[in-house]
Structure 1
Amino acid sequence: MAATLVIGVDIGTTATKSVAFSIDGTAVASASVGYPLDEPAPGYAVQDPQLIVAAVLSTIRSVVEEVGADAIAGLSFSSAMHSLIALDDHADPLTPSITWADSRAAGQAERLRGTELGRRLHRATGTPIHAMSPAIKLQWFRDEDPTTWDAARFWVGIKEFVLWRLSGELVMDHSLASCSGLLDIHRLDWSDDALQLSGVQRSQLPRLVSTTAVLPGLTAEAAAATGLAPSTRIVVGGGDGPLANLGVGAVRPGVVACSLGTSGALRVAVDRPVVDPDGAVFCYAITEDRWVVGGAINNGGVTLEWVRRTLGEWASTIEMLDAAAEVLAGSGGLLMLPYLLSERAPHWDSTARGSYVGLSRAHGPEHLARAAVEGVVLQLALVLRSLEAAGLDIVEIRATGGPLKHPLWQQTLADVFGAGIGLLDDAEGSSYGAAILGMVGLGLVESIDVAVAHSPVGLTVSPRPEAAEVYRELLPLFDGLYSALLPTHARLRELRLPLA
């Protein structure tokens, strides 16, 4: 077999998935390995970077064993955004991988957000001022952990660390750099203002490269671990959010990609950096001439996992969703704010906490489960409203993600949005987006527009008028609860009450 397959490696929050794709977008082989998201203290959400490297090597090797090393033209990467790792002089980790869900830097974010400097930084970097941002995490280390701060030779994200271990090159693509809060997206260079605020030096950051940049090959150790030749080329790739747009074919203006997994997001493609003057949405790069504007939420499928685990009522998530689907839209007047991991768009508030409002004795476990689904989708609807408020015309919505395999999620999304939702058959999302960048970087396809041709909508779910009207009335109530409970959330954070 000619070497025409590209392995798209998607380094996610809870698992790494590697998929071998042919040029026509067919997934030929795949493998996945999971790992934990640890919460050793309130506000912390971290992972072992060595476990993630092991997962990357294992999944690549599994795919290579299935299709043969001679069939692989190269590797290309996607990863969860906003991670941060301190490395020592030998590029070994001094810290865990601090994920997007880590909110320990909330104090630094709240002091900066709303100031003129904060607004100027958002306009320059496209990254909202929030504890998720590596730029804000760096301030936390400088202020709260001077020992690590002084010892750190490099600051990187999880994909940069993986690429270092695989290739010996310390590089960061424009996509992940654009969501670091450190990159001036209008110049594609590190922002002097952001560097000065965080205290980090240019020499401590990886070399900036294009998302289609090609690294020359694998280290001897990585080649042995994966079963690939050392000469196998690596395309750097980008962030999982922007690449999800690419993977589902949402690269034309006005086409929104909705992704729902552990977290969730809405993003619409534009051809140049666009910054929302209200600061409600982000702007991140796919390539130098393709960008996405959108907003991510922290609490997607993880919310339902918490409900099932906490209530202990169902043997599986599918069983829980089947029960929740028997409840009418609106959950009998029960609303859930699903801010279990604080929240990002559109409020970007690290102090937000989850709550049920409207609870009565008449509500059962199935109502609590349905209200959780509705709460997640209502939060996504606020992001959609912010995109429209930023002047972006929405003409189509494409959706992908594990939770959307269940009809309750599909229908609730259509009903809350009040619009048809195009679902893609077996869409691989970010891993396919990474593979497309790989094909472009390796010269196997001419441009990323191949994504549109190879990502057809398999099913369109239409809204039900009566349910859509219920959610139209609930959305402003849901939105108002955030503001009403904000002082309570802030005060609870100040109290720092222990869990045990």
Structure 2
Amino acid sequence: MSATGTPVVLGVDLGTTSTKVVAFDAAGRERAAAGAGYALREPAPGHVELDAAEVLAAAVRAARDAAARARAAGCTVAALSFSSAMHSLVGVDGDGRLLTQVITWADTRATEEAEELRPTEHGRALHRATGTPVHPMSPLVKLVHLRRHQPALFAAARRWVQVKDLLVHRWTGTWVTDRSTASATGLLELATGDWSGDALRTAGLSPLQLPPVAAATAVVGTLTAAAARELDLPARTPVVAGGADGPLANLGVGAVVPGTAALSIGTSGALRVAARTPRVDAAGRTFCYSLTDDLWVVGGATTNGGVVLRWLAEELLPDVSEQAAELGDLPEEALLEMAARVPAGAEGLLVLPHLLSERAPQWSALTSGAVVGLQRRHGRAHVVRAALEGVCQQLALVADSVEAAGPAIDEVRATGGFARSAVWRQLLADVLGRPLSFAAGGQEGSSFGAALVGHHALGHLDLLEASRREVRIGEVVEPRAADAAVHARLRPVFASLADALAPAFRALRQVPAAPG
């Protein structure tokens, strides 16, 4: 391995269905990239997990490949830094052996506990103090559920960690978490940056059962000899804590000043605005998570993003997907082309695209999907169009809630897998009724944010200044006025559906699911 060359930091982004590793130099240039995927597992209704061994193996493959490509491009890996999907939970015993798989943000087994706690004054106080809504996604609520339903497992756990903590431990031998990721657990006090006594009592935990909390920019260890061998990197390569993928996406697209929002659609979606002080809106519609020790992000996450398009391709329109594959095209692109042929508003058809329940701004896990307004004139293309409009309308509701919390939104910078599609970019701009800015070079926001954190930790740059300076806008998509007016007129109708259909959703949850 070469000891010289342009120093790069590997931004290791542990996502919901894949790990992406991108090597960035201190000037913000992407020098190499690699990725590896894994599948979400649903072993029982409401249980949405990842196989921890698969995730760790994918991270090794992706990091090793990205490092090799970086060396081939004349670079030297100076450090590794992390981004991770939020709200995961893993139990381990005293020897670090797994007692659970990775329970993901999409898991809704704790719905009953969330619905009991959320409307109470205690639940509202926990939301205000920790910035994390009381919802089944929250590790706090997951822990309450596990203590109630699996007391033997709960008692056997020496430590409760997140998926990124597992990987850092595997590569450095140290149990540690970062303040950004910890702030999305429902267990961290925003005001102090340390574990909350009230939240710990609610979960039934001792603070010793959680990892120590470090700043996102802290060097938390170096690669062990074993990790160095499997990654083909020098032993003692620095490892930087990094942070949660949502806040780091703000950093990665330069949305680190109040008024500039970062919007992303991957498997799920989110919109976030930077704030100088932590805050949660009075109605409890937004979250507040840490980015750095003196910067927070206020926003909301939606559960259903790209997963809706995949569901359409795999379950509703497999014939279209197969035809596209035979022609060498992506199934998702074929569906997007279908949607583009239908006018805005899908001729009066609305789809509530809550395949995996939903989060912001209602934060109720009881909601399900629905097709409303169906008439004889509607065909499959209308359903596709309305489902994608529903994904975008949910994000528009989040934008409205964020502005109600205080930070006005002057600019929206977008990132995520959806950004590769011109159809979806235009649709989102039309539904939001706002221009969307996209970074030049198609930078992956979270992995770039993680790499910036790594370079800051090594003293190569000032974090926030580099984020503002090095993100270059390559394209701005303007909303089409006539289509934006249609979507604005439909938004109150769309917003009313979840509450209006709540009794039906509750009743339908009592219908037994088919075994297997």
- Given that residues 415 and 467 in structure 1 are in contact (C-alpha distance below 8 angstroms), is that contact kept between their aligned partners in structure 2? yes
Within-5 A mapping of 1:395-434: 395-425=410-440, 426-434=442-450
- Given that residues 251 and 449 in structure 1 are in contact (C-alpha distance below 8 angstroms), is that contact kept between their aligned partners in structure 2? no
Tell me the equivalent position of 2:28.
25
Tell me the equivalent position of 2:400.
385
Q: SS at 2:91's partner residue?
A: strand
Q: Is 1:87 paired with 2:92?
A: yes
Q: Is 1:238 paired with 2:243?
A: yes
Distance 1:56 1:95 in 2: 19
Quote how far apart the aligned CAs of 1:3 are: 5.6
Q: Is 1:481 paired with 2:487?
A: no
Q: SS at 1:494's partner residue?
A: coil
Distance 2:277 2:176 in 1: 23
Distance 1:383 1:310 in 2: 28
Distance 1:213 1:108 in 2: 35
Quote how far apart the aligned CAs of 1:447 are: 2.7
In structure 1, what residue type is equivalent to 2:504? Answer: T
Q: Deviations over 1:280-312 (max 9, x none)?
A: 000001110111000000000100110111222
Tell me the equivalent position of 2:480.
464
Tell me the equivalent position of 1:63.
66
Tell me the equivalent position of 2:352.
337
Distance 2:315 2:67 in 1: 40
Q: Deviations over 1:195-254 (max 9, x none)?
A: 000101111100111001102311221110001111100001000000000011101110
- Given that residues 275 and 407 in structure 2 are in contact (C-alpha distance below 8 angstroms), is that contact kept between their aligned partners in structure 1? no
Q: Deviations over 1:23-75 (max 9, x none)?
A: 11111000000000001111010011111111111111112212239711100
Q: Deviations over 1:416-437 (max 9, x none)?
A: 1111111223121100000011
Quote how far apart the aligned CAs of 1:415 are: 1.0
In structure 2, what residue type is equivalent to 1:488? Answer: A
Quote how far apart the aligned CAs of 1:404 are: 2.1
- Given that residues 274 and 295 in structure 2 are in contact (C-alpha distance below 8 angstroms), is that contact kept between their aligned partners in structure 1? yes
Of 179, 183, 195, the match for 2:184: 179
In structure 2, what residue type is equivalent to 1:40? Answer: P
Tell me the equivalent position of 1:47.
50
Tell me the equivalent position of 2:325.
none
Of 197, 210, 213, the match for 2:215: 210
Misfit runs of 4+, over 6 Å = none
Distance 1:447 1:302 in 2: 32
- Given that residues 8 and 432 in structure 1 are in contact (C-alpha distance below 8 angstroms), is that contact kept between their aligned partners in structure 2? yes
Task: Count how many residue pairs are aligned between Structure 1 and Structure 2.
Answer: 500
Distance 2:379 2:422 in 1: 21
Against the structure 1 CA distance between its residues 406 and 3, is the aligned structure 2 distance closer, same or farther, given a 3 Å change threshold? closer
Tell me the equivalent position of 2:385.
370
Within-5 A mapping of 1:118-197: 118-197=123-202
Of 300, 313, 327, the match for 1:308: 313
Q: SS at 1:4's partner residue?
A: strand
Q: TM-score, normalised by structure 1?
A: 0.98
In structure 2, what residue type is equivalent to 1:468? Answer: A
Distance 1:192 1:412 in 2: 45
Quote how far apart the aligned CAs of 1:358 are: 1.0
Tell me the equivalent position of 1:449.
465
Quote how far apart the aligned CAs of 1:275 are: 1.8
In structure 2, what residue type is equivalent to 1:484? Answer: A
Of 13, 17, 26, the match for 1:14: 17
In structure 1, what residue type is equivalent to 2:92? Answer: L
Tell me the equivalent position of 2:328.
none
**Once structures 1 and 2 are overlaid, which stretch shifts more, 180-189 or 441-450?**
441-450
- Aligned Cα RMSD in Å? 1.2
Q: SS at 1:449's partner residue?
A: helix
Q: SS at 1:187's partner residue?
A: coil
* Structure 1, gaps ≥5 residues long: none
Distance 1:62 1:497 in 2: 42
Q: Deviations over 1:393-444 (max 9, x none)?
A: 1111111111122122111111111111112231211000000110111111
Tell me the equivalent position of 1:292.
297
Distance 1:496 1:277 in 2: 37
Q: TM-score, normalised by structure 2?
A: 0.95
Distance 2:319 2:194 in 1: 52
Tell me the equivalent position of 2:82.
77
In structure 2, what residue type is equivalent to 1:339? Answer: H
Of 211, 214, 220, the match for 2:225: 220
Distance 1:90 1:225 in 2: 22
Q: SS at 1:292's partner residue?
A: strand
Distance 1:432 1:275 in 2: 27
- Given that residues 217 and 231 in structure 1 are in contact (C-alpha distance below 8 angstroms), is that contact kept between their aligned partners in structure 2? yes
Of 103, 109, 127, the match for 1:98: 103
Distance 1:16 1:250 in 2: 23
Distance 1:437 1:52 in 2: 23
* Structure 2, gaps ≥5 residues long: 322-330
Q: Deviations over 1:431-476 (max 9, x none)?
A: 0000011011111112322112111111111111111111111000
